[in-house]
Structure 1
Amino acid sequence: MSRAYAPYSGFPVGAAALVDDGRTVSGCNVENAAYGVALCAECGLVSTLAATGGGRLVAFTCCDRNGELLMPCGRCRQLLWEHGGPGLLVDTARGVRPLAELLPDAFGPADLGR
């Protein structure tokens, strides 16, 4: 999170996840003056996953500068679904929950074959 770039919101975010091969990957938010092209921490995390050999996300957490847990936005939940699936464990303020509970009826790769 110390590398987050959040000069506009002043709200740095960090994310970390366990990969099925035992690695840990992380990401941080990167803002932009053109707000629509800002990147959430989850985007950085998934980019790190791909750049370091891929794999399947097993467990995920996201927090603010004070260590308070944050929930991924809808776009990021969809991104996490692609790389972790319905069983990805997400650390939430109400305890660890599978991603399927946070993104019911998600669209995924299997839907493209219909």
Structure 2
Amino acid sequence: MPSPNPLLDAALAVRKNAYVPYSNFAVGAAIRTVAGTIYSGCNVENVAYPQGTCAEAGAIAAMIAAGETQIAEVLVLADSSRPVTPCGGCRQKLKEFSGPEVKVTMTNLEGNDLVMTMGELLPGAFDADQMDRT
């Protein structure tokens, strides 16, 4: 029987592969595209801290590598006391491929969810229209 929440299943599965020897803070992210495909990613730390990669960025990279560019839904999961939100950089990365109505679910292992739209998560986002010089 299919799971009632395949995004959660994907985030839970990929979170187990997170490489987090420094923070021990494993994050899993899953995105569903408008075509219905699910891509996932986990965080990958590096001893040179700024060189790490967030889970959301990994999921986006997998989506782009597969030739898709439009996100329909996002889920981010971590073992934290409350739902973990994407960092500022990942909010902008998600915005690049999402409309303001795209649902972003942030959750923890206890199932405490915080659901926002991309527009709520990143109001006033920088976008391509701002680069138009005409």
State the Cα distance separating 1:88 from its structure 2 match: 1.6
Q: 1:97 aligns with which of 111, 116, 121?
A: 116
Deviates most, 88-97 or 56-65: 88-97
Q: How is 1:67-106 mapped onto 2 (pairs within 5 angstroms)?
A: 69-92=83-106, 95-106=114-125
Identical residues among aligned pairs (%): 40
The 2-side partners of 1:54 and 1:94 are apart by 27
Q: Is the 2:43–2:53 Cα contact (8 Å) retained in structure 1? A: yes
1:20-99 correspondence to structure 2 within 5 Å? 20-65=34-79, 69-92=83-106, 95-99=114-118
Q: Specify the alignment match of 2:7 in structure 1.
A: none
1:28–1:41 CA contact under 8 A, matched in 2? yes
Look up the equivalent residue of 2:19 and give its one-letter code.
Y
* 1:65 Cα deviation after fit: 4.2
Long gaps (5+) in structure 1: none
Report the residue type matching 1:112 in the other structure.
M
Structure showing greater Rg: 2
Matched to 1:97, the amino acid is M
Structure 2: give runs of 5+ residues left out of the alignment.
1-14, 107-111
Q: CA deviation at 1:55?
A: 2.7
Q: 1:94 to 1:4 in 2, by over 3 A?
A: closer
Contact 2:83 2:113 (8 Å CA) reproduced: no
Give the Cα separation in 1 of the matches to 2:97 and 2:64.
10
**SS at the partner of 2:68?**
coil
Q: CA RMSD in A?
A: 1.9
- How many residue pairs get aligned? The number is 114
SS at match of 1:17: strand
Q: TM-score, normalised by structure 2?
A: 0.78
| TM-score, scaled to structure 1 | 0.91
